[in-house]
Every structure is written in structure tokens, then in C-alpha cells.
Amino acid sequence: MTRTLIKQGEQLTITVPDDIKQRIDHFLLTQFPMYSRSFFQRTVEQGQITINNKLVTKAGHLVKEGDFITILVPEASSNNEVINTADLGVQILYEHPHFLIINKPAGLLVHPIHGRPEEVTLTDWIKQNIENISRVGYIDRPGIIHRLDKHTSGLMIIARTSYGYAQFSKLFFNRTIEKIYYAIARNHPSQSGTIDFPIGRHPTQRTKMTTFSSPTTTKTRHAVTHYKVAQYFKDAALLRITLETGRTHQIRVHLAAIGHPIIGDVVYGTISADMPRPALHASELRFIFDGKEYTFKAELPLDMQAYIKTLS
């Protein structure tokens, strides 16, 4: 028996049927096919699932016939603090009953992170500007299906309803959403190329990611980046980039690995006096939602346009 959506504030109990013995995340995916496996992995890791009244925190935990699984998604916490989000620079480019397309400015964190709870984020803007959003997705990041790095500008999809959230989660899981980025990289890479180094956490600098020559015993993930040169400059190039996978810092790490880091990326490259943030922009989105094809584009932001003029 498959189910539909899990609402915040709802508690569900499922009894594992006969002849079942599989991972908890795999089993829940069969029960809620509108969600992705990564959704249930996070749900388990966040302590929202018990098996036979015992908390489970590992997605690989095996369930078997007769186990009863309880999923508890708590209500969004009430917070009466008013945060000024009027000047964050977020642009709404398109409104659909189930989703929004926004243009996120560089410098805006998508959701709160450990150690910086006081920083104003896109999540604060969402809570104040999208009606009834608190019940969509995760409590601490309602409506957020994917993210951009703080200093990356460009297009994002924000789910307005649980239906929209579930549909887009599946599209991202199946990799059927096309995302196109533009980046300004150092020096002259070849006219086009594919970078397929696995990516994992840096072994000594835990806030950084790094590439590996092949899958290793460390925790690495398959990653593929395609690029084409849109324009060469004297000591730089404007790249059009498409992704097969969506790993943390993927474009930045992959370009640095081939010797062409993004200009302004102080984490994986070097500082730039004229480009104070990584010159990376999420420019285009293409997907099919409820049988209709959508395409959205956002021009390069003014800081990248101004920097390109210094290169010409």
C-alpha cells in the first residue's frame, strides 16, 4: 500500500508487511514513492523515526516483518521575532500555485547553519513572503528543495505546497531538472570538457571538499561536470556549465582540480581584488512539471558583468 504526503505535525505508524527485510530508507520509499530516498535518509538522521518505539538514526537499519515504524514530523516552532527581509534583494521571477522561481543574490545564505544562527537567510525571506509555507518540507528550511552556496547568485525553485515539494524532490532525485551555470575561470581551459573526479570531504580541512583520482575507502561521491567555453579573455574564460550530479561545491572543486579555479573563490582558488566573491551564477532552469515544460533564465548579475568588462 503506497501513501501520499507526510504533513508537519502528523504522526504516522506503519506495520512492515510479510516477507519484508530491507533498509528503512528503501522500505519507506516503497510506501511514499513521491519522495526521494535522500528525503528519508535525512528524516532518519534527524531523529524523526522510531521502530518498535526505539529511536533509529541510521538509514541502513534493517526492518523486518511485523516491525512498526512511527514517523513523527513536529509542528514548526513558533517564533514571533520579526526579521527585516525587505532589503535582501530576492527577486520573484515566476509564480505558480505549487512553486516560485526566484533569483537569489550573491551573499545570501539559503538556510541557517551551525555556528551562525543569527545570520539572516533566504529561509527568513521565505517565511515572511510565502503564505502557509511552514508546513512544506523541513521545519528549519520550509520550501527549500535545493540550494546554492551563499556567494553564488541565480535561479532557485521554492516549493509553495507539499505537492510541489514532493514532485520537485522526485525530479531532483531522478536528475531530470536541467541546471545551467556560468562561471569566470582563471586562464584558458580547453574549448569543452567533462570533469568526473569523485568528490568527498577534505581529510584535514573539514569545511572544504576535495577531489579524488578514484573512489577510495573515504566517503566519496560520483560527480560529473560538463563545460563549454563561451568566451576567452586574456587570462580568463567565461564557461557555460551543466551538471549531471549535484555535490557540495561541485563546480568550484572540479574547476580547481583541473587548474582553472573560479575567479574570486578564496576557498579553492585565490583572492581577486576586482571580484570579491566566486564568479558563479545559476543562469538557467529547465524541467517538466505536471506535463508542462518550463524554462527560466536569469542574466549575469551586475558584479559579474562589470568584471567581464575589465577583462575585455
Q: Each residue of 98-112: b (16+ CB within 10 Å) or e?
A: bbbbbbbbbebbbeb
The catalytic residues are: 149
- Which residues have CB under 8 Å from 105's CB, separation 6+? 88, 89, 90, 153, 301
d(CA 271, CA 265) in angstroms, rounded, equals 6
CA 219 to chain centre: 19
Beta pairing class for 153-159 and 280-289: parallel
Query: Which of 30, 62, 65, 24 has its CA nearest to residue 43?
Result: 24
Q: At what angle do helices 24-31 and 37-45 cross, to 10 degrees?
A: 120
Cβ–Cβ < 8 Å for 157, 100: yes
d(CA 174, CA 273) in angstroms, rounded, equals 40
Q: What is the grid cell recorded at 285?
A: 532552469
